[in-house]
Amino acid sequence: MGCALSGSGVVQDPTASEEKRCSLAEDGPDSGEEGQRQGDGKAPEALLLSEAQKALVQLSWEILHKDIARVGVIVFIRLFETHPECKDAFFLFRDIDDLQQLKMSRELQAHGLRVMSFIEKSVARLEQEEKLEQLAFELGRSHFRYKAPPKYYEYVGTQFIQAVQPILKEEWTPEVEKAWETLFRYLVATMRRGFYKEEKASGVNLSLSLRRAGADKTPNKI
């Protein structure tokens, strides 16, 4: 998958080349020690959304929010199509192989709604950056407990953007896309920092063990 979220949502090492920054985003900090340290993040990321971009996100969300149940399912079905290994993190439906059957699963629908509710809360907090940061950081911490590694978070943003385009039709413009990319890039970077913070506190190198195992086959107790 390309570096779809390579917008300007996060302050990163200004000396890093674009290629390097994209490859960090693609592989994630779990792909190496350097990334581990970056994920530990001393400095929080800055939300680089202009007021105009915030308004674009808010206005498009007003149109989208009535479709969030559908969008939530589409996003995760596409995530599982493109990255089947992500399904292993979900104890409740990891054993359903048929994606058509999975689409009808109540658990998947409920999970999709939880994720979309998080996006809704994020949109509502665009003017309160501290609260937004706290929200995404805590979510990253809980994803450590869910054994859901950061390298996949950005794909949720990519799939979200693809899923909402047909709903917004002509309201979807390159500016709207850029604004959503920037928001997701920020959320993903903040979640990633939360994940590594929790990992460090736990003393368990989950990223490494998941990588070594290919995928952790121990069911999550969720």
How many chain residues bind ligand HEM (CB under 6 A)? 20
C-alpha distances out from residue 46 to 11, 38, 71, 99, 130, Å = 6, 15, 27, 37, 10
**209 lies in the binding site for ligand HEM (CB under 6 A):** no
Applying CB under 6 A, does 111 fall inside the site for ligand HEM? yes
Q: Which is nearer to ligand HEM, 78 or 111 (CB)?
A: 111
Burial 46-74 (b: 16+ CB within 10 A, else e): ebebeeebbebbeebbeebeeebeebbbb
Choose which of 50, 128, 142, 173 interacts with ligand HEM (CB under 6 A). Answer: 142
| Integer Cα distance of 3 and 185 in angstroms | 11
Based on the shown chain and the rule CB under 6 A, indicate whether residue 222 belongs to the binding site for ligand HEM.
Answer: yes
Length reported for the chain: 222
Count Cβ atoms below 10 Å from residue 28 Cβ, excluding itself: 22
Looking at 61-69, 152-160, 175-183, 200-208, which segment touches ligand HEM (CB under 6 A)? 152-160
Given 61, 144, 152, 196, the residue binding ligand HEM (CB under 6 A): 152
Stretch near ligand HEM under the rule CB under 6 A, chosen from 24-32, 50-58, 86-94, 161-169? 86-94
Answer yes or no whether residue 20 interacts with ligand HEM by CB under 6 A.
no
Binding mask 157-186 for ligand HEM (x = CB under 6 A): x-----------------------------
What whole-number distance in Å separates Cα of residue 73 and Cα of residue 172?
20
Count Cβ atoms within 10 A of the Cβ of residue 18 and give its class: 0-12 exposed, 13-18 middle, 19 or more buried. exposed
- Radius of gyration of the chain, Cα coordinates, nearest whole angstrom: 17
Chain residues that interact with ligand HEM, rule: CB under 6 A:
86, 89-90, 111, 114-115, 118, 139, 142-143, 146, 148, 152-153, 156-157, 187-188, 220, 222
